[in-house]
Amino acid sequence: MADEFEKMGESLRAKTGKGLDEWVATARTAGISGHMALVNHLKSQHGLGHGYANMIVHAANASSSLSQDDDALVEAAFNEARAHWRPLYDRLTQLVQGFGDDVELSPKKGYVSLRRKKQFALLQPSTKDRFDIGLALKGEEPAGKLEAAGSWNAMVSHRVRIADDVEAGDDVAGWLRAAYDRAG
């Protein structure tokens, strides 16, 4: 993942004339605390694309593996009241890694992005009572547990809310596989 961010940082400098460190300083001086609010500010006020703006905000907020150890980010996501979700996370990541050797786990603050050539899903222990699975299934009609993501997370088109780990059955496995296949 570090190589990908390094390449993206080089591309950012080539495109804008500023490196990641300079953009992080710009983001931090904006005085905007919300992740998406700051992403949208960088996009609208500085003409950045979503991917660059998102990378800059994660770096500025120390909320991704750009700025923290992957294991520490995962551990923090499953602390205290959400610790009981860890076996579900482990089961789902093992399932997804079985789809191919190109699956990449990219921890962020509070969730883990599942990537191939691009993000295809995310796993998030949202509360003590809910685990969310985000899926990039653009064009898929929401039905049953598969709902439109709406404003929940702009990086995915659908969400599945899980209240008990047994709810993540064959249907969830199928949606994860479909999202993986589309990201290839």
pLDDT at 122: 96
pLDDT at 69: 65
Q: pTM for this structure?
A: 0.66
Cβ–Cβ under 8 Å, residues 85 and 65 = no
Q: Which two tokens stand for residue 178?
A: 């479909």
pLDDT at 159: 97
pLDDT at 177: 97
- Would you say the C-alpha torsion 19, 40, 152, 61 has a positive or negative sign? positive
Closest by CA to 92, choosing from 78, 72, 81, is 78
Residue 113, beta-bridge partner list: 106, 122
Kindly report the number of other CB atoms within 10 A of residue 169's CB atom.
10
Q: Domain residue spans in the chain?
A: 2-60, 71-182
Closest by CA to 61, choosing from 12, 24, 105, 21, is 24
Q: Over its length of 184 residues, how does the chain's per-residue pLDDT go in tens digits?
A: 455 667 777 888 888 999 888 898 898 888 887 778 888 899 999 999 888 888 888 778 765 544 456 777 788 888 889 999 999 999 999 999 999 999 988 888 889 999 998 899 999 999 999 999 999 999 999 999 999 999 998 889 999 999 998 999 999 999 999 999 999 8
- Would you say the C-alpha torsion 73, 30, 150, 152 has a positive or negative sign? positive
